[in-house]
Amino acid sequence: MDRRRTDGGIGPQRPDDGPVRAVPRHVACVMDGNGRWAQRRSLPRTAGHRAAEATVIDIIETARTAGVEWLSLYAFSTENWSRPDSEVAFLMRLVRRVVRKHAPLLLARGIRCRFLGVADPRIPRELARDFDDLTTLTAGSRGMTLTVAFDHGGRQDIVAAARSLILSSTPAEKVSEELFAEHLPFPDTPDVDLVIRTSGEQRISNFMLWQVAYAEWVFPEVLWPDFRAADFLSCLHTYRRRDRRFGGVPATTNGDRSR
C-alpha cells in the first residue's frame, strides 16, 4: 500500500527512509543549459531559450503544489549583456511574450511575482513596463512568491545595500547583518534553503550572494529545457535527506553523535 507522508513530504513513505526535513521554504534555480540543449540538436541557441518556457511553467506549478513558499529563478544576469546582440534581443522579446502569456495563470494560482534587478537602461521600456504591470497585478496574492532575477548580480545588490547604509548616515558600530539585509532589494525575502543548478555546472555565478550563504546546492546533470517536475521533486528529496547543521554538530541519536 502506498502510504503518503504526513510530514509535508512528497512521495511514498518507505520503512528505510528515516527522518526527513520539511520541504524547503525558499528554492532558487539557476536555469542553465539552454545553449547546450540546442547545440546537441544542431539548432540555434535561441531554440534552447524557447524550449525553456515549458520548463519554467512546469517548475512553478510543481513548486507551488509541493508547498514551496518562495521560488527564485535566475533568468538573466548582469554578465549576460556580453552575449551577442541578436541573442540578447531575442531573450528580451521572448521574456516579454512569456510574461504576457502566463500572467493570467500566475494570478489565478495566487502567485505573487517580483523582479530582482531590472536596472540597466538597455532593458526595453515595454518589457520593464510589463514587469511592473505583473508585479502590480499579483501584489495582493498570498500564495507562493515568485522572484525572477533579471539583469541581476549578487555583488551589485551588496554594493547597493552598502551605499544605502552610507547615505542613511548609519554609524559603523550600528551595522549588523540584520540591518544590512534590510537595505538589500526585497528585504522580506528569506534566505535560500536550496539552490538547484541544472546542466551539471557547479558555480554560483553571482546569484543572490547574500541569500544563498547557508543554502544547500544540488547540481542535476539534466539541461534546463529537459528539467521537469520529477527532476525538481528529486532535488527536494535530496535536500530533505541532508543534515543542515549551520556550523554546529550532528544531531544526537541514541546518545551518540552521528559521524
Is 204 annotated in a binding site? The answer is: yes
Is 37 annotated in a binding site? The answer is: yes
Instruction: Write the CB contacts of 31 (distance below 8 Å, at least 6 apart in sequence).
Output: 52, 55, 56, 73, 74, 75, 198, 224
* Catalytic choice (17, 58, 80, 191): 80
Is 224 annotated in a binding site? The answer is: no
Is 70 annotated in a binding site? The answer is: no
Is 35 annotated in a binding site? The answer is: yes
**Side-chain-side CA neighbours of residue 81 (13 Å):** 12
Residue 81 DSSP code = G
Strand spans (E) along 201-255? 216-218, 252-253
Question: Do the beta carbons of residue 171 and residue 113 sit within 8 Å?
Answer: no
Is 32 annotated in a binding site? The answer is: yes
Question: Do the beta carbons of residue 72 and residue 30 sit within 8 Å?
Answer: no
* Catalytic choice (7, 16, 17, 32): 32
Measuring CA to CA, how many Å separate 222 from each of 50, 77, 88, 97, 250? 17, 21, 24, 25, 32
Is 78 annotated in a binding site? The answer is: yes
Is 80 in the active site?
A: yes
Is 4 annotated in a binding site? The answer is: no
Is 254 in the active site?
A: no
How many other CB atoms are found less than 10 A from the CB of residue 58? 16
Is 40 annotated in a binding site? The answer is: no
Is 97 annotated in a binding site? The answer is: no
Bridging pattern class, strands 145-152 and 26-30: unpaired
Is 33 annotated in a binding site? The answer is: yes
Residues annotated within a binding site for substrate:
33-37, 45, 49, 77-79, 81, 83, 197, 203-205
Catalytic residues, by residue number, are 32, 80
Residues annotated within a binding site:
32-37, 45, 49, 77-79, 81, 83, 197, 203-205, 216
Residues annotated within a binding site for Mg(2+):
32, 216
